[in-house]
Amino acid sequence: MCAPKVCLITNTNAYNLPQQFTNEINSQAGPIIIGTNVWIGAGAIIAPNVTIEDGCIIAAGSMIYQDIPANSL
């Protein structure tokens, strides 16, 4: 179940100050895998290459950038 304003991001561009001047882009892309019986609170942001296993609850306003094991809060 996803609450309002959840953001699932499957592609990002990370810039470091030296890269801004050379126009090099560090792009990160990948899937987001969400298990069963997962609740995602309002305004949560899920980054690329993340797996949220079964039975998790993601708090409202959370920023998820790494895998979340099953039955985690």
Question: 27 — phi, psi (to 5°)?
Answer: -90, 135
Token pair listed for 62? 């959370």
- pLDDT tens per residue, range 16-33: 666 555 566 667 789 999
Does position 61 have pLDDT exceeding 80, yes or no?
yes
Out of 1-10, 17-26, 48-57, 63-72, least confident range: 17-26
Query: Pairing state of beta strands 32-34 and 57-58?
Result: unpaired
Mean pLDDT of 36-61: 97
**What is the SS3 assignment for 45?**
strand
Token pair listed for 22? 């050379």
Q: Where are the domains of the chain?
A: 7-64
Percent of the chain with pLDDT over 70: 82
Q: What is the overall mean pLDDT for the chain?
A: 88
Residues in the chain: 73
